[in-house]
Amino acid sequence: MPSIFPLHVLAPYVFLAATSFSASVLAHSHINYILINDLLYRGFDPTGRFPNPSNPIGWSTSADDDGFVPPSNYSTHDIICHRDGSPSKAHAPVKAGDKIHVQWNGWPASHRGPVMSYLAPCANLNTTDGCGSVDKTQLLWTKIDNSSPVLISEVGGPPGNWATDVLIASNNSWLVGIPADLEPGPYVLRHEIIALHYASKKDGAQNYPQCLNLWVEGTEKEKRAPPAVATKVVSIAPGAGTPATRLYKSTDPGVKIDIYSTLSTYVIPGPTVVSWATPVPLGRQEKLSMSTAEGTPVLVSGTRTVPFPAKATVEL
Ligand SMILES: *[C@@H]1O[C@H](CO)[C@@H](O)[C@H](O)[C@H]1NC(C)=O
Ligand SMILES: *[C@@H]1O[C@H](CO)[C@@H](O)[C@H](O)[C@H]1NC(C)=O
Ligand SMILES: *[C@@H]1O[C@H](CO)[C@@H](O)[C@H](O)[C@H]1NC(C)=O
């Protein structure tokens, strides 16, 4: 059951700009980079405007218009990791419990909606390189953040602030909490905005899924703990989670919706957030100081990692 959040202070509201923009002419967005503990890891730029880095942790896509996946394609492979999504070899190293600052390349204010994050483990998917050559159709997604409450009321303001308003106020970024006790290993982070500005129209919602490879390390505390001390670990059991092609339906109440009407509830699309998730609440979303220090992504080889780009002499 999706969660329902009441909108307490929503006055009837006329959104005058509702018809003044066109879905087809706006430039949309992609994830530029992420920051983990002040170190920067590069995403994939599908637009071709800039050369891509040699070691992006963002999956490549063919969405060169920075565009979206419509509800009519919710059951196609496009919804998994965007159009022609293909895994990156490089993974960003992150510790369980860290917060990842996800930097979008801008976001249009009109494109209001929820911001959601999912994890899919690549362990047990018959790869030798973590998520680097994973078959995306095998990925099963566990929701770790639904940006709830998607709408926060604002006295005298528009009909609540959507998660995207918070994202824009944070310099187009979002903090994703990696669950505190997550089992180490390779994971794909699927971060997604659903823009609802046209969602009352047929096939009008716009999904912007973005996939990034992570290598989750144990915490320092776990590393120091003697082996006899059992550390609390949460793991995503093989078979748990939802294939991306079954996350949403075009008829979901949070997908087919008129956001310019007076809303009393919003039903967040997709599965519920798992109980052990550690999302960063809306009130604690904030822009982190801009870092220019580049982190070193890793290549995964079985249960080991090596810095990427790998030296020619490193055997994988
Ligand atoms: C939806 O999927 C079809 C078939 O894969 C594709 O031809 C079409 O371009 C997709 N539509 C959008 C808007 O991405
Ligand atoms: C992994 O390989 C084994 C042995 O070939 C096979 O039985 C299993 O179905 C494969 N698992 C996946 C997820 O492909
Ligand atoms: C905001 O994000 C942009 C990248 O989109 C970055 O260049 C800029 O430094 C950021 N500003 C702050 C204050 O962090």
**For 116-144, what is each residue's pLDDT tens digit?**
999 999 999 999 999 999 999 999 999 99
Q: What sign does the dihedral 131-224-306-34 (CA atoms) show?
A: positive
270: DSSP letter: S
Q: pLDDT band at 152, cuts 50/70/90? A: low
**pLDDT for the residue 260:** 86
Confidence of residue 313 (pLDDT cuts 50, 70, 90): very low
pLDDT at 51: 86
Phi, psi of 284 (to 5 degrees): -110, 5
Q: Which range, of 14-28, 32-46, 48-62, 255-269, averages the lowest pLDDT?
A: 14-28
Choosing from 126, 127, 131, 236 the residue with most ligand 2 atoms within 8 A of its CB, the one to mutate for a pocket test is: 126
The pLDDT, as a whole number, for residue 68 is: 97
Split into its structural domains, the chain has a count of: 1
> What range does the domain containing 194 cover?
7-299
* DSSP state letters, 30-96: -EEEEEETTEEEE---TTSSSPPPSS-SBPB-S-TT---B-GGGTTSTHHHHSTT-B--S-BEEEET
Percentage, residues of the chain above pLDDT 90: 68
Q: Judge whether 11 lies within some domain.
A: yes
Confirm whether 206 is domain-assigned.
yes
CATH number at residue 170: 2.70.50.70
Q: Which of 64, 72, 74, 78 to mutate to test the pocket of ligand 1 (most atoms within 8 A of CB)?
A: 78
8 Å CB contact between 118 and 175: no
| Between 135 and 220, residue with greater pLDDT | 135
Per the domain annotation, does 316 fall within a domain?
no
Domain annotation covers residue 64: yes
Burial class (CB in 10 A: 0-12, 13-18, 19+), 229: exposed
In a domain, 2, yes or no: no
Gap from CA of 103 to ligand 3 centroid (Å): 8
Residue 273 pLDDT exceeds 60: yes
Q: What average pLDDT does range 289-315 have in this prediction?
A: 77
Atom of ligand 1 nearest to the CA of 69: 14
Query: Domain for residue 278, yes or no?
Result: yes
Q: Which residue has a Cα nearest atom 6 of ligand 3?
A: 290
pLDDT of residue 316 exceeding 90: no
Q: Tell me the average pLDDT of the chain.
A: 85
Separation between Cα atoms, residue 289 and residue 116, nearest integer Å: 23
